[in-house]
Amino acid sequence: MKRRGILIVISGFSGAGKGTLVKELLKNYDNYALSVSMTTRQPRPGETDGKDYFFVTREAFEEKVSQDGFIEYASYCGNCYGTPRDYVEEQLAAGKDVILEIEIQGALQVKKKNPQTLLLFVTPPSGEELKRRLVNRKTETEEVINQRMARAVEESAGIEQYDYLVINDDLAECTVQTHQLIQAAHATPDRNQDFIRKIRRELGEL
Ligand code: 5GP
């Protein structure tokens, strides 16, 4: 019986190292597909359209909303972000585990519509370390860093709504741990209902 892909949401404070963690998962294991979001934010130096994000105007974003083209969307620090529906559905049907790297409002929308979604929250080991990572990234102004730190305080209130907390201290360890959590999620009864129906039928026939 073909294993169905699961939808995985990875959230965490800006600067927690989610992007790096996701890159490591994609590099080290072959069962993952990463959804590329659409955003109205300006590209940062080094970001590529179609790879990091689909960078669009607010009008184009709103048009996609009106076509029901997102599985979720939200606004974050003044910009809009959304997950295009088609890619996610194609990859799940092909048996891939699809990763969405999105913030909490979107995460909760996805979980509500699809309760089998696995929600992971990534955090650095301390608040100080978060600030240090944001400053060292050198891609944001001080004002944006402060905005993102304030947002982190708000987001920390929602951590209990996630299925697992992943502390990103050592990247290699964190990658293995995340992969193991996802593998364990594949073994829960609610994600194996087809198999359970099949074995019950077979048992009934013997
Ligand atoms: P950044 O501007 O740093 O790339 O992203 C800001 C926040 O938006 C991050 O927490 C990121 O995970 C989140 N984000 C990125 N894409 C999406 C999306 O499609 N939907 C939602 N809800 N959040 C997103």
> CA 14 to CA 16: how far, in whole Å?
6
Which of 12, 10, 15, 11 has its CA nearest to residue 139? 15
Q: What would the pLDDT profile of 126-167 be if each residue is shown by its tens digit?
A: 999 999 998 988 888 899 889 989 989 999 999 999 999 999
> CA 18 to CA 23: how far, in whole Å?
9
- CA 58 to centroid of chain Cα atoms: 22
Q: Which protein residue's CA is at the shortest distance from atom 19 of ligand 1? A: 82
What pLDDT, on the 0 to 100 scale, is given for residue 24? 97
> CA 171 to CA 157: how far, in whole Å?
25
Q: What would the pLDDT profile of 57-89 be if each residue is shown by its tens digit?
A: 999 999 999 999 999 999 988 999 999 999 999
Confidence of residue 120 (pLDDT cuts 50, 70, 90): very high
* Residues 172 and 165 sit within 8 Å (Cβ to Cβ): no
DSSP state string for 129-197: HHHHHHHHH--S-HHHHHHHHHHHHHHHTTGGGSSEEEE-SSHHHHHHHHHHHHHHHHTSGGG-HHHHH
Q: Which protein residue's CA is at the shortest distance from atom 22 of ligand 1? A: 106
Index of the ligand 1 atom closest to the CA of residue 83: 19
Q: Token digits for 86? A: 């088609």
Confidence of residue 38 (pLDDT cuts 50, 70, 90): very high
Q: Token digits for 150? A: 């304030």
What pLDDT, on the 0 to 100 scale, is given for residue 77? 85
> CA 87 to CA 151: how far, in whole Å?
29
Helix (H, G, I), strand (E, B) or coil at 100: strand
Which of 61, 84, 58, 81 has its CA nearest to residue 71? 84
Residue 77 Cα to ligand 1 middle (Å): 10
Residue 4 Cα to ligand 1 middle (Å): 26
Can you tell me which residue has the tokens 């009864």?
A: 189
